[in-house]
Amino acid sequence: MTRPPQSGETYRGNDMVDYVKIVVKNINQDLLQEEMVAAGVAGGGAYWAGFDKINSRIYAPSTVHGFTEGELRFKYDPGLTVAQETTLDNILATHDATQSSTRQANEATDEIDRQNFVTTFQGWDALTDTQKLNRTKQLFRVVARLVNKQTDI
């Protein structure tokens, strides 16, 4: 390609269809995937051509790799319907990288729950039955998440 890609361009090769999107804003990869799953447009591969990973969560628009700033390429087999591509465009337009995915929010509470368990264990006899039940439920949730980070109970 001798010119920069334009957002919305589509390339077909074999059964795979590439969609080029230009998104000049930070992207929380985990949240974007969650949004795509919820909207029914997950399953394609993503190539962060015009982005650079700035921490464990966020990709920022960049030209450091020689691509157009904010160039994001999706591959789908089979290709998306017009309605699905519109859904993908809407997700990208409304995506807010400052928000956390469900998994990220759960990870943030896991440490708080762990600290609560230590405190609870030390003062177990002083807790009411309701408090003991609530702490036990938290314990099961954290243990399940330790076994599998995708668990959300």
Three-class HEC string of 101-124: CHHHHHHHHHHHHHHHHHHHHHCH
Per-residue pLDDT at 6: 64
Question: Which residue do the tokens 């440490």 mark?
Answer: 111
- Candidates 121, 116, 113; CA nearest to 146 is 113
Q: Where are the alpha helices (DSSP H) in the chain?
A: 29-39, 82-94, 102-122, 129-147
Q: What is the pLDDT of residue 98?
A: 96
Q: What is the pLDDT of residues 87-117, one digit of tens each?
A: 999 999 999 999 999 888 888 787 787 787 7
Whole-number pLDDT of residue 48: 93
- Domains in the chain: boundaries: 10-94, 102-147
CA dihedral for 92, 97, 98, 104, sign (positive or negative): positive
pTM exceeds 0.85: no
pLDDT reported for residue 135: 83
Using alpha carbons only, give the angle 141, 111, 133 rounded to the nearest 5 degrees.
Answer: 40
